[in-house]
Amino acid sequence: MPRCLNSDPDKASISDDSFDELRLLQTTIDIDLSYSIRIPQPFAMPKLGQPERKSGRGPVKLACLACRVSRIRCDGDQPCHGCRIRNRECSYTPSRRGGSRKKRNVAAKPTTNEQPDLAFPSPPLSEIDHLTSPGAGLRLLSFDEINLPSGAGSLGTSDSGAEDFVQHAVRIYDSEQAILNAYYIYLHQYFPILPPPVRPVTPDNPIRITSLEGCFSLTLTSPLALAISAMLALIPFPDQEPTPVMSAEEPLRRSIAHKLAQMALERVESDSELIDDTPGGHPSPIPFEGQPIPRFPLHPRTPVMLEGLLALLLLSNYEHTQRGNMLKMTTRASQALIMAKNMSLHQLNSYEDEYSEAKRRAWWMSYFRAQLCSVVRQSASVIMEDDSLYTTPYPTIQGDPEVWPLYIESLQVSFATVRLAAARVPPCAKPDPDLLRSKSEKIAALDARAVQLIERAKSGLRSKASPTNGDPASEPLVAKTMRSIAAIRSSSMNHCDLSSPDFVPDTDNVIPRTNPPESSPLTFDEAAEVCVESALEVSRQLKKLPYPDKSLAAVPARMTPTILCCAMHASYVMMMQFYRLYLRHQQEAGDMMTTSYERRVDELRHALQDVIATLDGFANVLEAIRGMKVDVEAVFTVAFSDMMT
């Protein structure tokens, strides 16, 4: 746990040999030599002295209870600044502990110029560390929060324009074709589980309801149609006022979406029973002939047997981004992977027919989702076999045949970092030079692979012209989005908080580090610079992610994100760099602002704003992501409001 800077007014001003550990909690997996986000090893920072006094105001003698517990600086106001921005109760209770700490006997060194008083911007690093934890910031919706409230409203599709009806109405669709059309508008470019559409995509045309009673959705038998409907129900209408981030004012939208998700899961089980009772069923061009499931397909080039599997992939995303439940996210993804293997989708040959593309996408998206769960949870939560056993060809996108391999390989390297981080040496074990050398070689190999992936992703983004129209189902646009996601993941190339206890230095050693441990192929300064540059690259790519076409969708809703961890990781890196620059600048330049310092801080601030804007685009629809946005925005606001005002 990083130590907070002491704001005790009895502390002397900073001197050359008075240091304290201001740790950047960094990962030990240094992945990319050009862009990958590698958190460098923990290093020590000089201790700051007495806080800068504001004009006409002495130092605070009594901190509020919340600030004392958090060990952060309190400004003495009622409420104080820290409690005000966090919306928490601010109360002042006299401390029963002893008085001020006694100053260490430090040999004074002669100095010609008095050091300026410094004030460290709150919050301390302990309030930023959580950005790197598994599922950082995800808001977990409890079971009670998703239950349909009593008197949720009567069935309504009225044009009366009543304020309550407008504000609380939920979107559904009145046909499977309308559901499929909406999938291509809102979901396909981020989560391409289906082949391209067979007919042109038309403008979105949802209907408003306040109850599922008597609605078309209750008659659906396709688990995929129900899963898509569950995701679409979360999208607000354009005339609905934004809901506060942590508000409980939208139970109807979340509860109807959850009801549809439960219905989809039930239909998955029903389809699974039919498949088990009729083993060996194969797709047939004649409806129902040789089919274990007597139902017309939702997509004409996707076998009915695959709809349950594809529904599980969407439900895994729903549990992650809407409910914030990582355990159920993993359960749904594991079930989809097992189902895909039971259908032998992982061992298909290169034979081409009208269903081959759908089968390939079903397998590789199942594989992708399973590995993503391990990356998000920072553990090998889904057991994966040797990739050499998978013979199924990659799906194809006309005009960009390389994008699918790139999309999958970028996640494979992230998954490899999870496994490498899990291979930790016991803290009590004696360092083994051979083990350290082996780990360094593995990191270097991942570095080299990451460099190749980044170059492939960025060269494709430069060379592939943007589609002439904004059709979200356009495969070139899907390919461009996939390349951006691959570039983001390759630039991150690790998951949140790949911290390793193997190389945590002695807390009594307060000498700033200049060299990394033997397991790192880079020097500390090299790793730190690459870390920051890759965070900035992630921010740039996040900003480029597309919204639905305005001519087809009235709501700019982004759905099914798969790069949330990268966004949180980049935010953590840039915040750490900001504090590092601030301390170094104060030590070297005092109160004088240098051009290079201002330029770098502005770059970090704008990049963090881009990350927050990206999270906001997803958080407008998906409730679990709102917690992520709130966390990043809180540390950003506190840090930069203190420094830039």
For residue range 256-281, what is the model confidence (pLDDT) as tens digits? 999 999 999 999 999 998 887 765 54
In this structure, what token pair is assigned to residue 35?
A: 């862009």
232-236, 356-360, 583-587, 630-634: least confident range: 583-587
pLDDT at 94: 57
Q: Which of 308, 237, 227, 316 is nearest to 263 (CA)?
A: 227
Assign residue 20 a region (left: φ > 0; alpha: ψ between -120 and 50; beta: otherwise): beta
Residue 416: pLDDT over 70: yes
pLDDT at 493: 65
Residue 250: pLDDT over 80: no
Chain center to CA of 25: 19
pLDDT at 163: 59
Name residue 516's amino acid: P
Q: Which residue did the predictor score with more confidence, 78 or 235?
A: 235
Q: If you average pLDDT over every residue of the chain, what do you get?
A: 75
Confidence band (pLDDT; 50, 70, 90) for 153?
very low
Cα→Cα distances 75→55, 57, 60, 591, Å = 13, 10, 6, 21
pLDDT at 49: 42
Confidence band (pLDDT; 50, 70, 90) for 245?
low
Dihedral of CA 207/143/129/90: which sign? positive
Three-state secondary-structure class, residue 459: helix
98-107, 167-176, 317-326, 603-612: least confident range: 98-107
pLDDT at 78: 80
Confidence band (pLDDT; 50, 70, 90) for 505?
very low
Chain center to CA of 262: 25
Confidence band (pLDDT; 50, 70, 90) for 28?
very low
The β-bridge partners of 172 are: 207
How far, in Å, CA of 520 to CA of 41, rounded? 9
Dihedral of CA 496/502/508/513: which sign? negative
Type and span of the H or E element at 45: strand 45-46
The β-bridge partners of 20 are: 45
Average pLDDT over residues 23-50: 35
Longest CA–CA span in the chain (Å) reads 93
How far, in Å, CA of 358 to CA of 88, rounded? 51
Residue 43: pLDDT over 80: no
Three-state secondary-structure class, residue 240: coil
Residue position matching structure tokens 């400004």: 75
pLDDT at 166: 66
Residue 370: pLDDT over 60: yes
pLDDT at 274: 86
Highest mean pLDDT range out of 22-36, 178-192, 231-245, 530-544? 178-192
How far, in Å, CA of 545 to CA of 555, rounded? 16
pLDDT at 495: 36
pLDDT at 278: 63
How far, in Å, CA of 6 to CA of 21, rounded? 11
Q: Which residue did the predictor score with more confidence, 145 or 172?
A: 172
Confidence band (pLDDT; 50, 70, 90) for 40?
very low
pLDDT at 156: 43
Average pLDDT over residues 59-87: 74
Average pLDDT over residues 542-559: 87
Residue 519: pLDDT over 70: no
Confidence band (pLDDT; 50, 70, 90) for 447?
confident
Three-state secondary-structure class, residue 583: helix
Residue 311: pLDDT over 90: yes
Q: Which of 442, 444, 517 is nearest to 33 (CA)?
A: 444
pLDDT at 515: 46
Q: What is the DSSP letter of 287?
A: T
| Long-range contact set of residues 153-162: C-beta below 8 Å, sequence gap at least 24 | 153/210, 153/211, 153/252, 154/210, 154/211, 154/213, 155/209, 155/210, 155/211, 155/213, 155/214, 155/215, 156/208, 156/209, 156/210, 156/211, 157/207, 157/208, 157/209
Q: Which of 523, 60, 141 is nearest to 324 (CA)?
A: 141
Residue 15: pLDDT over 50: no
Residue 565: pLDDT over 80: yes
158-162, 347-351, 445-449: least confident range: 158-162
Count of Cβ atoms closer than 10 Å to residue 393 Cβ: 18
Tell me if 563 sits within 8 A of 485, measured CB to CB.
yes
Tell me if 168 sits within 8 A of 210, measured CB to CB.
yes
pLDDT at 213: 83
How far does the chain reach from its first CA to its final CA, in angstroms?
30
Average pLDDT over residues 570-593: 80
Task: Report the chain's C-alpha Rg in angstroms.
Answer: 27
Q: Which of 563, 395, 388, 422 is nearest to 493 (CA)?
A: 563
Cα→Cα distances 502→426, 494, 600, Å = 7, 18, 32
Q: Which percentage of the chain shows pLDDT scores above 90?
A: 32
Q: For the chain, give every domain's residue range.
A: 138-281+294-377
Average pLDDT over residues 53-60: 44
Average pLDDT over residues 551-559: 86
pLDDT at 52: 41
Tell me if 30 sits within 8 A of 38, measured CB to CB.
yes
Residue 448: pLDDT over 80: yes
pLDDT at 439: 75
Name residue 48's amino acid: L
pLDDT at 332: 96
The β-bridge partners of 171 are: 208
Average pLDDT over residues 168-181: 93
The backbone torsions φ and ψ at residue 19, rounded to the nearest 5 degrees and listed phi first, read: -125, 155
Tell me if 261 sits within 8 A of 233, measured CB to CB.
no
pTM listed for this prediction: 0.75
How far, in Å, CA of 533 to CA of 518, rounded? 23
Average pLDDT over residues 326-332: 94
Count of Cβ atoms closer than 10 Å to residue 227 Cβ: 32
Q: Which residues contact 17 (CB under 8 A, 6 or more apart)?
A: 106, 107, 109
In this structure, what token pair is assigned to residue 351?
A: 């034979």
Tell me if 210 sits within 8 A of 172, measured CB to CB.
no
pLDDT at 175: 94
pLDDT at 337: 95
Confidence band (pLDDT; 50, 70, 90) for 124?
low
The β-bridge partners of 207 are: 172
